Amino acid sequence: TYSQLDTGYVLTKTHCGSRCFLCQPKEYIETAHTFLNRCLSGERRDKDKVMSKTRYDKSLVKKAVHLIRDPFDNVVSRYHLELGVLEKKDPKEFKKYSKDREGFRKFCSKWDAEFAGKEQRNFNIDDKLLAYIKDVPCHSDFFRYVQWHNLASTATRNLQIPTLRLHYESYEDNLEGNLNKLLTFLELEKIGETAAFIPGKRYRNYYTSDEVKALSKMLKELAYINMWPLLEHYFDEDIISEAGR
């Protein structure tokens, strides 16, 4: 968020780093320094509407809103985005995959095998845990997921700025309450009526209960001590039972 002179704070958005999908570990394993640099990087449009790359000064950032989404919904949604890229880049390959559970698992199976050896050499987890999760579809994207949240937490701590952490699904459960919390944090007043919140789809059933348990162990081991309490409710026993068989 960027400071405004008299009326609170302007909310902006950055995806930071560690976001590639079909990539080798060396392309997405990041340090706190490289991650923050990507948070501050973007594109700007000049008066002639020409786009150019730019990097913003970190002193402009006065507050942060850290949004957390269910990791299973996040990973499958990223698969759907990747299909859109694949459709344009390689239509023949795109036709091999459907936008359902079967297509997702087929896609993951191919690319998990492609990067298996490189993961073993680069992942900072022990061999026992890697063996446990190696057959979980698109498990490397869960590594990127937890790394992203760890480094986002580190970035805001290093910047020494107030940070509000919100869960995506909380807007569905309590829209007005979370909107008021956000506006209070940004020191802004509500204007007009609240637009309806349209929740994203849920994809827990794309994974088996055993796969969910395996990923729970992985994320618990890799998440920073301040991040796991914000993620662990996604792995409650009653939620695990909702997974596919």
Q: What is the pLDDT of residue 238?
A: 56
Question: Given a cut of 90, is residue 128 above it in pLDDT?
Answer: no
This prediction's pTM: 0.88
Q: Average the pLDDT over 200-205 and give the result.
A: 90
d(CA 187, CA 185): 5
Residue type, 36: L
Q: Average the pLDDT over 149-160 and give the result.
A: 97
Question: Given a cut of 70, is residue 158 above it in pLDDT?
Answer: yes
Q: Residue 42 — very low, low, confident or very high, per pLDDT cuts 50/70/90?
A: confident
d(CA 233, CA 29): 26
- DSSP notation for 115-180: HHHHHHHH-SS-HHHHHHHTTSTTHHHHHHHHHHHHHHHHHHHHHT--EEEEETTHHHH-HHHHHH
Question: Given a cut of 90, is residue 107 above it in pLDDT?
Answer: yes
Which region among 89-93, 126-130, 211-215 has the lowest average model confidence (pLDDT)?
126-130
Question: Given a cut of 90, is residue 61 above it in pLDDT?
Answer: yes
